[in-house]
Homo-oligomer: A and B are copies of this chain.
């Protein structure tokens, strides 16, 4: 937490922030970035949730959705609400918030929908309160939302959502977030509309893994980090391999192997399951390749009878941004 907090505590509602409103855009994110299960994530430029937050003198949180997803409007049962409550516990005053959420990141898509709500609410609140909290504080608050959504406090969606770009969560307790430089990349995404619950996707994993596989995995994540930092697309491509999680979880996603094999043949650097699925992403150096990959994704799912949607986007380096005040 930053030093300003004490100054804030001396004024009833954070000084100039009283009664202010803000609109923010919170990006979709890809967690479990191939060999970086539980530790690497990145932010996307599309889709993004819109959130409108007003700081009130009346205590408490009122929230509502203008989207179609029927999420709870009860703060204690809503990831954005829970995250705001977590933040408010560290405020020594009786302010309140009114939050209007217009989600574009479909819940259950594996693209960090809950993280966008959780992170968006606290980033917006922090802005209205005069930026009294550090980014790390905000991640901490938003993890309460992730816990509500998935049962586990994880930060690999929230961190890229707040910091932008590629982030490494070296450790959760204590929190240690590292922003990693990475070259420009295009990202092709397909969301086959089947349900994969995060909790199920966790249970399917073995509690133990072979040491030789773990060694392969940490060789790959080391290569991936080096590839990002050296702008070495070939090294990134060679390192985008997950020998532990993907072989198990990909069984939950019909079409996965086909999409991946054909995408790599078409020139994608590599990719995998976004978060715990069901969305699949492929990283590409060129936009033209990403568009080819998107066609492959359409082709694969056109033949399955599943509902699906696809798009091509880029890495979002800004994280959550203020859209208007």
Chain A residues at the B interface, C-beta cutoff of 8 Å: 35-40, 168-171, 176, 178, 180, 205-212, 214-226, 229-230, 235, 238-239, 244
Contacts and interface: CB of A to CB of B under 8 A. Distances in A.
A171 B219 contact: yes
Nearest to A215: B38
A215 B168 contact: no
Contacts of A212: 207
Contact of A170 (B171, B211, B219, B244): B219
Contact of A222 (B205, B221, B238): B221
A178 B226 contact: yes
A35 to B, nearest CB: 7
By Cβ-Cβ distance, the 8 closest A-B pairs, closest first, are A170-B223, A214-B214, A39-B219, A208-B208, A218-B218, A225-B225, A170-B219, A229-B229
Contact of A214 (B217, B220, B238): B217
B218 A221 contact: yes
Given A39-B219, A208-B208, A222-B222, A170 B214 contact: no
Given A168-B222, A176-B238, A214-B244, 5 more contacts: A38-B215, A168-B219, A168-B226, A208-B210, A218-B221
A183 to B, nearest CB: 14
B215 A205 contact: no
24 contacts: A36-B222, A37-B218, A38-B219, A39-B219, A40-B222, A168-B222, A170-B219, A170-B222, A170-B235, A171-B216, A171-B238, A176-B223, A180-B226, A206-B211, A208-B208, A208-B211, A209-B210, A209-B214, A211-B244, A214-B244, A217-B218, A225-B226, A225-B229, A229-B229
